[in-house]
Structure 1
Amino acid sequence: MTEDFIRRRALRIEQNPGIPLYVFALQASEVNRVADVARISRDEAGKLLGYQRPEKKQHVKQILDYLNGDDVLFPNGLILALPSSVRFKGSRGPNSTDGLATIGTIEIPLPESADAPRPALIVDGQQRSLALARTKRSTLPVTVAGFVTEELEIQRDQFLRVNTVSPLPHNLVSELLPEVNTRLPTKLSARKLPSALVNALNQDSDSPFCGLIKQASTAGSRRSEAVVKDNSLISAIEESLSPSGVLFPYKNLSNGTADAATMREILVVYWSAVRDTFPEAWGLSPTKSRLMHGVGIRSMGRLMDRVMDRVVTVADIESSAAHDRTMMELALIKPHCHWTKGRWPELNIPWNELQNTPRHISTLSNLLVRTYLQARMSPS
């Protein structure tokens, strides 16, 4: 009779009383039986699922080639999120613990069938686990550290932390950050609000960017429609959250909170007006429209601070008047813009030679802001 669990000798590490932590070994073939990969995606309602990046086939092949070679030493362990259904029984005797760890036996439940969900999720070691599932050394012992939690937020938090040495793709980190509510390192914490605003702009039906932002979870069938890179928009929002930006007043520095709803409204009003001012350039691929290119998003983002600073002083941001006023302000620069054809005469450069580089972003930003301010000062 086949047992419905795997039993292994294990150490229970006395680290966090609320989250049991175990160290044990599994055979290479057993990893795939107990652990699954939580791929990042979104459901039909737009809720974020999982946290793992796609498989890196070349990386997996390199690991597999090593595992199938001679003289294998594989100390690189896996980190698993274990279900609450695991059982640990400490060994008897006076030497079963040294105050740091307790020796005993862990039992990990197995799926009831081949189609049933596996009980554990891989937090770190996805590429290694895929290679282990395919190696001819199916009985190779593999070191595993497993912590018991079924809370996705804790799993995502640990996933982000263990991947700081070998950086994760920016878009994957950006999409996961708003889902993590634990204390984050300063650098990640600063990116959390801009990332949350970009997520909202991509998901909300009233946003001009709805479905247009390319994120880690963007399905393959929709990637051609997602023409704006999330990192460009995040960077634009980060700049607007600086002391000179229009979003800065909605941050409460004394308690660390922010009026994200008003920030979102300002972004929706401004970029809706950008869309309506340049309809021929909106929603196209960056190769056909530099407005949707990183250089266009970043430069128009800097112009937003000047335009919306004026709009919010004369109109209720939630009213239709705010959109109309923003359109009036953008009309001042419209004749000078060349997003899809022609040349930027002031820059002496064809429209499609603008690149997402600091120099071009700075040059185009300066032109747009200077043109806007000069037009505002000109007599009617």
Structure 2
Amino acid sequence: MTENVIKRRALRIEQNPNIPLYLFALEAQEVDLVADVARISRDEAGKLFGYQRPEKKQHVKQILEYLDGEDVLFPNGLILALPTTVRFKGSRGPNPSDGLATIGTLEIPLPESRDAPRPALIVDGQQRSRALALTRRSTLPITVAGFVAEDLDIQRDQFLRVNTVSPLPSNLVSELLPEVNTQLPTRLSARKLPAILVNALNQDSDSPFKGLVKQASTTPDKKSDTVVKDNSLITAITESLSPSGVLFSYKNLANGTTDTASIRKILVVYWTAVKDTFPEAWGLPPAKSRLMHGVGIRSLGRLMDRVMERVLFDADIDSPDISDRVMAELALIEPHCHWTKGRWPEINTPWNELQNTPRHISILSNFLIRVYRDSRMGAS
């Protein structure tokens, strides 16, 4: 290691001509010099930065205890996103490459000071990297796979892919998906549109959910304000995008396009009407209001399919009286709801004993739909 650069023998893997991939080794103490952790966060304008979850101190402690123990073997490598300023020089000689890999020397520039940003970002192995920075075995060689990509889209895509065996927290995946523009596996691709919609509901000024949705990037000082779990909303929207849901008709299966703008309008109109119908229960923590609880969000999401199907049969989503129409439909169930006190009739359950379980979601949603249907029949 020289003053401003780390030089390491490396293999350049001939995998993708547009994204160089290198295999090399760093000393444990050098990992902290080379790589930063891109923590997930948002700026004041709501733009998403980074992709890594918070540090797990207990996990780091366990790794450190092993590293500081006897007979250490640490084949668990790191994956780094390297800057375009790295340089690779192939070795001289008759056979530096076998067609799969080329041997040579990789040069990684170092920051001018400890306070300056590191040149690389950790895509996989942040808990290991923290333990490596603390271990007494500071010169332990660590295997590294590094790909050259400063584009956050590519980094996030790789981050999601390498964490499929040990699943990432669902809220972290949900918040990252809208930022990934590369082709995703089918399982993740199906979650992208609902995640985009929930992100918009949490960010847009006309949304009743603005600032209320708890996401992976939610800072500790804002957690008391975020009372709705993003996964509850995502699941409710996902169900409505299924063939039996009101949002399904806005997906064009023939050409693979989706009228996202209309879907967003439907969600904003419906949930604003919910907020205005139950103002005393809106925005409270789930322990004080089952409306903001997973069981409330999921059940009202299922009711949305019935209500909005009825409303949109007679009016366009851009009709000037669309909000009044939805409010009129919700008024049919309002007297029967007990989000903050009392007992739910017929299902004979105290308001605060409803839980976010498949059984309770099914019981409450069936009750709301039945009351809505019977009240409509009685009103007609």
Q: TM-score range by the shorter chain?
A: over 0.9
Q: Which residue of 2 aligns with 1:277?
A: 277
Describe the SS at the equivalent of 2:142: strand
Whole-Å separation in 1 of the counterparts to 2:39 and 2:167: 17
Q: How does 1:94-133 map onto structure 2 within 5 Å?
A: 94-133=94-133
- What displacement does 1:316 show? 2.9
* Deviation of the 1:94 alpha carbon: 1.4
Amino acid at match of 2:220: G
One-letter code aligned to 2:5: F
Correspondence for 2:357: 357
Cα distance in structure 1, aligned partners of 2:263 and 2:311 = 13
TM-score of the pair, normalised by structure 2: 0.99
Counterpart Cα distance in 1 of 2:134 and 2:228:
37
Q: Equivalent residue for 1:139?
A: 139
Amino acid at match of 2:234: I
The aligned residue for residue 28 of structure 1 is: 28
The DSSP-based 3-state class of the residue aligned with 1:341 is coil
Tell me the residue number matched to 1:305: 305
- What residue in structure 2 maps to residue 371 of structure 1? 371
SS of residue paired to 1:122: strand
**C-alpha separation in 1, matches of 2:234 and 2:318:** 23
Q: Do structure 1's residue 92 and structure 2's residue 92 form an aligned pair?
A: yes
Give the letter aligned to residue 7 of structure 1: K
CA distance in 2, matches of 1:193, 1:113: 42
Tell me the matched-pair count.
Answer: 380
Asked whether 1:76 is paired with 2:45, we answer no
Give the match for residue 230 of structure 2: 230
Indicate the percent of aligned positions where both proteins have the same amino acid. 80
Per the TM alignment, residue 2 of structure 1 is displaced from its structure 2 partner at its CA by 5.2
Please show how residues 283-302 of structure 1 align to structure 2 within 5 Å. 283-302=283-302
Q: Distance in 1 between matches of 2:52 and 2:9?
A: 29
TM-score, with structure 1 as normaliser? 0.99
User: Which residue pairs with 2:221 in the alignment?
Assistant: 221
SS of equivalent residue, structure 1 residue 378: helix
- 1:305 aligns to what SS in structure 2? helix
Give the root-mean-square deviation of aligned CA atoms: 1.0
Which residue matches 1:18?
Answer: 18
Which structure 1 residue ranges, 4+ long, deviate > 2 Å from structure 2? Answer: 313-316
- Quick one: which amino acid aligns to residue 124 of structure 1? D
2:323 pairs with 1:318: no
Q: Aligned-pair distance for 1:257?
A: 1.5
Aligned to 1:341: 341
Partner amino acid for 2:266?
I
| CA–CA separation in structure 2 for the residues paired with 1:177 and 1:255 | 22
- Pairs within 5 Å for 1:251-266: 251-266=251-266
- 3-state SS of 1:10 partner: strand
What is residue 41 of structure 1 aligned with on the other side? 41
For residues 212-261 of structure 1, give each alpha carbon's deviation from its aligned partner in whole angstroms, at most 9, with x where no partner exists: 00000011100111000000000000000011111001101112211111
Q: Quick one: which amino acid aligns to residue 16 of structure 1?
A: N
Inter-CA distance 279–350: structure 2 relative to 1 (3 Å threshold): same
Q: Once the 2 structures are TM-superposed, how far is the Cα of residue 115 of structure 1 from its aligned partner?
A: 1.5
Which residue of structure 2 aligns with residue 247 of structure 1?
Answer: 247
Unaligned runs of 5+ in 1: none
Counterpart Cα distance in 2 of 1:50 and 1:126: 13
Counterpart CA distance in 2 for 1:10 and 1:2 is: 17
- Counterparts of 1:42-61 in structure 2 under 5 Å? 42-61=42-61
Provide the C-alpha distance between the structure 2 equivalents of 1:257 and 1:218, rounded to a whole number of angstroms.
31
Distance 2:268 2:180 in 1: 24
More displaced 10-residue stretch of structure 1: 274-283 or 318-327: 318-327
CA displacement at 1:185 relative to structure 2 = 1.0
Partners in 2 of 1:281 and 1:33 — Cα distance?
A: 51
Paired letter, 1:269: V
Corresponding residue of 2:172? 172
Deviation at 1:315, TM superposition (A): 2.5
| SS state at 1:221 partner | helix
Opposite residue 229 of structure 2, the aligned amino acid is K
What is the distance in 2 between the residues matched to 1:271 and 1:368? 15
Q: Tell me how far apart the structure 2 counterparts of residues 261 and 172 of structure 1 sit (CA, whole Å).
A: 24
